[in-house]
Amino acid sequence: MSGRAGRAPGLSVRLKLTLSYAAFLMLAGAVLLAVVWLFLLRYVPDGTIRVLGGFVPNRSDLVDAFVPRAAAVLVFLLAFGLVGGWLLAGVMLAPLSRITAATRRAAAGSLSHRIDLEGRQDEFRELADSFDAMLARLEADVAAQQRFAANASHELRTPLAITKALLEVARNDPGRYGGELDDRLRAVNTRAIELTEALLVLSRADQRAFTPQRVDLSLLAEEATETLLPLAETHGVEVETSGDVAPALGSPALLLQLATNLVHNAIVHNLQGEGTVRVDTAVRGASAVLRVENTGEPVSPRLLDTLTEPFQRGTERVRGDHAGVGLGLAIVKSIAQAHDGTLRLAARPGGGLSVTVELPVAAPLPVERPAAAARA
């Protein structure tokens, strides 16, 4: 057996503290009595002491009078230590009881409960505050996962339902639509595949399932721009690429996906026929920076706050069939976080969007010494 069911029953912390308090008082009393014996009674002679004017007790007389009272004091200290220790331990462990109750509620699935421990800062208050912060983070993560699962189910159900409807039409009237039905089925199937691939990329980024390598963001930006140049020409968008070498550590495939998504969004969500996209890279301090700016319609603050959420397509800025699957910037955000980086979005004053990704810069490569210099 393992876990809680496999553990032998033991004493409670309160009882352990009570026994510790009582044992400490008993030990302190015993030390005090020992001191009295060592420094007082042992110097009193044993036997008859004769002095003029009265009776003087000897050591035996003092021991006979002292020992019963000392034993009574020890019994009193034991009882006082047990009762007082039990009450004191209960007061000291009261915050721990609240933390335990909150832990059990969280284990039962209630993540909205908070301890909110009052009082001054101490170890229990620090533990309670850390637990509350953990619950808040878990609640937010669970809510995000639930929203993502619901949205993914909805998005995947849509192309499947369309495919089913088209196949029903084809079965009922096979010779009516012909090539048009085939084109529509291909388009729906392509969209479903793109959505599935995007979900796989997002899952891979969230799990950090990659081996970090040294990559240059400027080269990835150029590759993404060249790949999407035909799309830019179709939309009449001019793409400009510039910048310096920006080395970072990460997955070349994921970071290329990041750059491609940013450039693709900048082309699609733009002014058709007269828009521009600017891609540049740089190193700023300890960060390798990739920035993509595009012209376009003004972006409202409400829309800006939701663009990195999964399945948010920026419907205020784009129309038609170019909305994508709604995972572009969500994938960018997940890839940036998987590389310990940050993603910042800002609305441009004249319309459009500016997206900045900052990743930890890679350490400079060691300079290799020439063979001749090494032999010298």
Q: What is the pLDDT of residues 2-15, one digit of tens each?
A: 555 566 777 777 78
Of 164-168, 332-336, 369-373, highest mean pLDDT: 332-336
What's this model's pTM, rounded to 2 decimal places? 0.55
CB atoms within 10 A of CB 89: 20
Enumerate residues 6+ apart whose C-beta is below 8 A from 292.
262, 263, 265, 266, 277, 278, 279, 354, 355
Residue 323 pLDDT level (bands cut at 50, 70, 90): very low
Enumerate residues 6+ apart whose C-beta is below 8 A from 63.
41
According to CATH, what is the number of the domain 123-206?
1.10.287.130
Among 296, 292, 293, 250, smallest CA distance to 275 is for 296
Residue 26 pLDDT level (bands cut at 50, 70, 90): confident
For residue 78 the two structure tokens come to 């034991």
Please name the CATH architecture into which domain 211-360 falls: 2-Layer Sandwich (3.30)
> What are the residue ranges spanned by the domains of the chain?
10-92, 123-206, 211-360
* Lookup result for tokens 């007061």: 91
What is the rounded distance in angstroms from the CA atom of residue 201 to the CA atom of residue 215?
19
Instruction: Concatenate the DSSP letters of all residues of 198-221 into one string.
Output: HHHHHHHHHHT-S--EEEEHHHHH
Residue 114 pLDDT level (bands cut at 50, 70, 90): confident
> How confident is the model at residue 7, as a pLDDT?
64
Beta strands per DSSP E along the chain:
50-51, 54-55, 213-216, 237-243, 247-250, 275-284, 287-294, 342-347, 353-360
What is the length of the chain?
A: 376
> How confident is the model at residue 1, as a pLDDT?
43
